[in-house]
A and B are shown apart, each in its own frame.
Chain A
Amino acid sequence: MTLALIVLAGPLIVFAAIACLPPLRRSGRPAAYVSIAGIGASCAAAMAQAAPFLRGAGIEAVRTAEVVWAPIAGAPPIRFGLLVDGLSASMAVLVALVALLVQVYSLAYMAEEKPASLGRYYAYHALFAFAMLGLVLSHNLLQTYVFWELVGLGSYLLIGFWFERPAAGRAAQKAFWTTRLGDVGFAIGIVVLWGAAGTFSFSELFARASGGALGGTALAVGVAGIYLGAMGKSAQAPFHIWLPDAMEGPTPVSALIHAATMVAAGVYLMVRIAPLLALTPQLASAVFAIGVLTAVLAASMALVENDIKRILAFSTVSQLGFMMAAVGSGGAEAAYFHLTTHAFFKALLFLAAGSLIHAVHTNDIFRMGRLARRMPVTAACFAIGALALAGVVPTSGFFSKDEILAAVLAGGHPIGFAILVAVAGMTAFYIGRAFFVALLGAHDAEDQPHESPPAMTLPMIVLGILALAGGALAPAFPRLFEATVSALPAHEASTPIFVPILGTAAAAAGLAIAWAAYQRGALDPGAVRRAAHPIVTVLERRFYVDDVFEAGYRVVYLGVSSAVGWFDRYVVDGVVNAVTWGTWILAGRLRTLQSGRVQDALYFVAGGLLLLAWLAWTG
């Protein structure tokens, strides 16, 4: 357990140090070094912790540790604890490693920031890392929720890092609000499950559910609530709207949060509660369907984007849809494998994109061109990432996408399978388009760009190696999964051969079309755009989902607010004002009693006399 504590303590201590010691924060680069040291220690501890599980230590290696946090009268107390099993240990390595690489990369990317600003940046990074690691290592739902919210806070702070830009502030708020909507469902789900089972702990919940003590409506509502939370964080439609806008944040932040870790938290959570999801098949079908829908929608919106970060953002949403589709088909293992490989190659793509943006000072792919010549390392890394995303053999992406498609098919969803294959083709197309236009292409970019410094290229190279070779990890995943509390009964893992063939064919087709259109000029994209103008407009307007949310916000939220405000002003205040008015009127009337004339007072004396007499008489 000490390793787990080191994993958590590293970023926590760094955050506390930078936050509480203004001189450290204001110094800039020293704060960065402290942060990198902290996350580095965390990463090392996480790797040491995960090693036994990767070697196949099995379920006996699972460790938990807990302390009583809040005693409750008449019920089991709420506990705070850590769970180290195959799932959490491997995820901790992923999070810590990507965080470390991103923080090193940021040294060069954020070099032009003022020192105090840089210190603030690294403080936020430390906070986020702590929150994410805490989320991963939590052994109960309530604790997960606490860290979940902290992660949301970290995301808000990092998206809105350049807060002087109004767009950044709006994007941060949009992210926070949208995920918050889901979090309400999450909270309700947790409470419902606790009400039915009396516990928050994962292992106890799974035991009760499989034993039949927890079931029916309570289980369904609980799991649905948790899924709502996952929908928000993992950008499932229609809660995906925050992710494209979140690109206002610095690119390293996008790489860490919106590719590898935070958005993966939703999928991670669903994988964690896979035993519960297995007991609610209708909900699992819904998860699957929404996942497929998300995958298609996002991929189609990526087709018309010119901003390289937005393309990658929609790509992330689409890939998250793939993962959720696998989770909903009972392929939690496949989903988690893809989560891992996606973390590597998507972070790689973001970092490479950041390198390009840093060099040419624009996000627009059509203002880049032939950058491969000037920036070979970046170009090679981007190419590797693109191939992994497209799922070309032998990249890690190929293996993980293959497993997802197989899981979907094995789960009994042929139509979904076909759709996902088509989406794979679209994926290959849009990433190919980005590659050909930005890195190859017919025209030169405007500035005189040069390759990025080693602080930026080294992390990319590491990720590139992982993206290429990650396929070798594939056999490790079943071993990891056996060693978790969320283990599902093993199913037969034979994949029909046509699955990888179809996958590769789709990828090849997509890349070929992109090459033909953007590199060779054989197809005219402009003409296609004009011909399909209505469709393109819908895609560019992102299916008007943002507008629906905005209108809903205006009508419902602001409407309710103004109604409540009216109520407060006219009814609540109205009662008080009416009392005031009544008192005034009464006072005015009563005042006339005191006329200043003696004989009027004498009337009262005489009246009092009569009253006394009557009282004495009847007394």
Chain B
Amino acid sequence: MTLTHLLLVAAALFAIGLFGMLARRHAIGVLLSIELMFNAVNLAIVSIAWSRGLATGVVLVLFGIAITVAEAAIGLALVLLVTRVRKTAVLDDLHDLSG
């Protein structure tokens, strides 16, 4: 189990999350994919901290998780609001700011 393996796994996770973010139609599906991407980044940080013996990796990830929590809360609140107003959470149907 080397750093390279771990980082590749993190990269794969990130790529999968990216696909979901770009391709998913439902807003919450996009949010879930974004969580995957966050998770991948955290994994990468922890892996490097483990490989280098750094203690600050923990703190960084801790902060990241806390911020992610806040972001998820607001995001979900927004989705609920949109669903209430527009009766749909499908992002393709929400294009009022088109050119």
Chain A residues close to B by CB (< 8 Å): 591-599, 602-603, 606
Complex: A595 Cα to B98 Cα, angstroms? 5
Among A592, A595, A599, the one with the most B-chain Cβ atoms within 10 Å of its Cβ is A599
Q: Is B59 an interface residue (CB 8 A)?
A: no
Complex: A603 Cα to B91 Cα, angstroms? 14
9 sample A-B contacts, Cβ–Cβ < 8 Å, listed by A number: A592-B99, A594-B98, A595-B99, A596-B98, A596-B99, A597-B92, A597-B98, A598-B94, A606-B22
A601 and chain B: residue at smallest CB distance: B97
Which residues of chain B are within 8 angstroms of A603 by Cβ–Cβ distance? 22
- Interface set, chain B 1-23, CB cutoff 8 A to A: 18, 21-23
Q: How far apart are B7's CB and chain A's nearest CB, in angstroms?
A: 15
Q: Is B95 an interface residue (CB 8 A)?
A: yes
B99 and chain A: residue at smallest CB distance: A594
Q: Which residue of the partner chain, among B22, B92, B94, B97, contacts A602 with CB atoms under 8 Å?
A: B22
Q: How many B residues have CB within 8 A of the partner chain?
A: 13
Q: Which residue of the partner chain, among A593, A597, A602, contacts B95 with CB atoms under 8 Å?
A: A597
Complex: A602 Cα to B95 Cα, angstroms? 14
Q: Which residue of the partner chain, among B21, B22, B30, B95, contacts A595 with CB atoms under 8 Å?
A: B95
The answer on a CB contact under 8 Å between A602 and B99 is: no
Complex: A603 Cα to B22 Cα, angstroms? 7
The answer on a CB contact under 8 Å between A596 and B97 is: yes
Q: How far apart are B89's CB and chain A's nearest CB, in angstroms?
A: 12
Which residues of chain B are within 8 angstroms of A597 by Cβ–Cβ distance? 91-92, 94-95, 98
Q: B10-47 toward A: CB 8 Å interface, digit per residue (1/0)?
A: 00000000100111000000100000000000000000
Which residues of chain A are within 8 angstroms of B95 by Cβ–Cβ distance? 595-597
The answer on a CB contact under 8 Å between A591 and B91 is: no
The answer on a CB contact under 8 Å between A599 and B99 is: no
Which residues of chain A are within 8 angstroms of B23 by Cβ–Cβ distance? 599
Name 10 extra pairs, CB < 8 A, besides A596-B97, A597-B98: A595-B95, A596-B98, A597-B92, A597-B94, A599-B21, A602-B21, A602-B22, A603-B22, A606-B18, A606-B22
Complex: A560 Cα to B23 Cα, angstroms? 64
Which residues of chain B are within 8 angstroms of A594 by Cβ–Cβ distance? 97-99
Which residues of chain A are within 8 angstroms of B92 by Cβ–Cβ distance? 597
The answer on a CB contact under 8 Å between B99 and A591 is: yes
If the complex has contacts A606-B18, A606-B22, are A598 and B91 also in contact, measured as CB distance less than 8 A? Answer: yes
Q: B79-99 toward A: CB 8 Å interface, digit per residue (1/0)?
A: 000000000000110111111
Which residues of chain A are within 8 angstroms of B91 by Cβ–Cβ distance? 597-599
B97 and chain A: residue at smallest CB distance: A596
Q: What 3 A-B pairs come out closest when comparing CB atoms? A: A594-B99, A596-B98, A596-B95
Q: How far apart are B97's CB and chain A's nearest CB, in angstroms?
A: 4
Q: Which residue of the partner chain, among B18, B21, B96, contacts A596 with CB atoms under 8 Å?
A: B96
Q: How far apart are B27's CB and chain A's nearest CB, in angstroms?
A: 9
- Interface set, chain B 57-74, CB cutoff 8 A to A: none
Q: How far apart are B95's CB and chain A's nearest CB, in angstroms?
A: 3
Q: How far apart are A409's CB and chain B's nearest CB, in angstroms?
A: 93
Which residues of chain A are within 8 angstroms of B22 by Cβ–Cβ distance? 599, 602-603, 606
B93 and chain A: residue at smallest CB distance: A597
Which residues of chain B are within 8 angstroms of A595 by Cβ–Cβ distance? 95, 98-99
B25 and chain A: residue at smallest CB distance: A599
Q: How far apart are A601's CB and chain B's nearest CB, in angstroms?
A: 10
Q: How far apart are B2's CB and chain A's nearest CB, in angstroms?
A: 23
Complex: A602 Cα to B94 Cα, angstroms? 15
Complex: A94 Cα to B99 Cα, angstroms? 83
A599 and chain B: residue at smallest CB distance: B22
B27 and chain A: residue at smallest CB distance: A598
Among B18, B23, B96, B99, the one with the most A-chain Cβ atoms within 10 Å of its Cβ is B99
B92 and chain A: residue at smallest CB distance: A597
Q: How far apart are B76's CB and chain A's nearest CB, in angstroms?
A: 16
Complex: A606 Cα to B91 Cα, angstroms? 18
Which residues of chain A are within 8 angstroms of B99 by Cβ–Cβ distance? 591-596
Which residues of chain A are within 8 angstroms of B94 by Cβ–Cβ distance? 596-598
Q: How far apart are B74's CB and chain A's nearest CB, in angstroms?
A: 16
A593 and chain B: residue at smallest CB distance: B99
A591 and chain B: residue at smallest CB distance: B99
A592 and chain B: residue at smallest CB distance: B99
Complex: A199 Cα to B98 Cα, angstroms? 74
Complex: A599 Cα to B27 Cα, angstroms? 10
A609 and chain B: residue at smallest CB distance: B18
A602 and chain B: residue at smallest CB distance: B22
Complex: A278 Cα to B95 Cα, angstroms? 92
Complex: A593 Cα to B21 Cα, angstroms? 19
Which residues of chain A are within 8 angstroms of B98 by Cβ–Cβ distance? 594-597
Complex: A596 Cα to B96 Cα, angstroms? 6
Which residues of chain A are within 8 angstroms of B30 by Cβ–Cβ distance? 599
Which residues of chain B are within 8 angstroms of A602 by Cβ–Cβ distance? 21-22
Q: How far apart are A599's CB and chain B's nearest CB, in angstroms?
A: 6
Q: How far apart are A279's CB and chain B's nearest CB, in angstroms?
A: 79
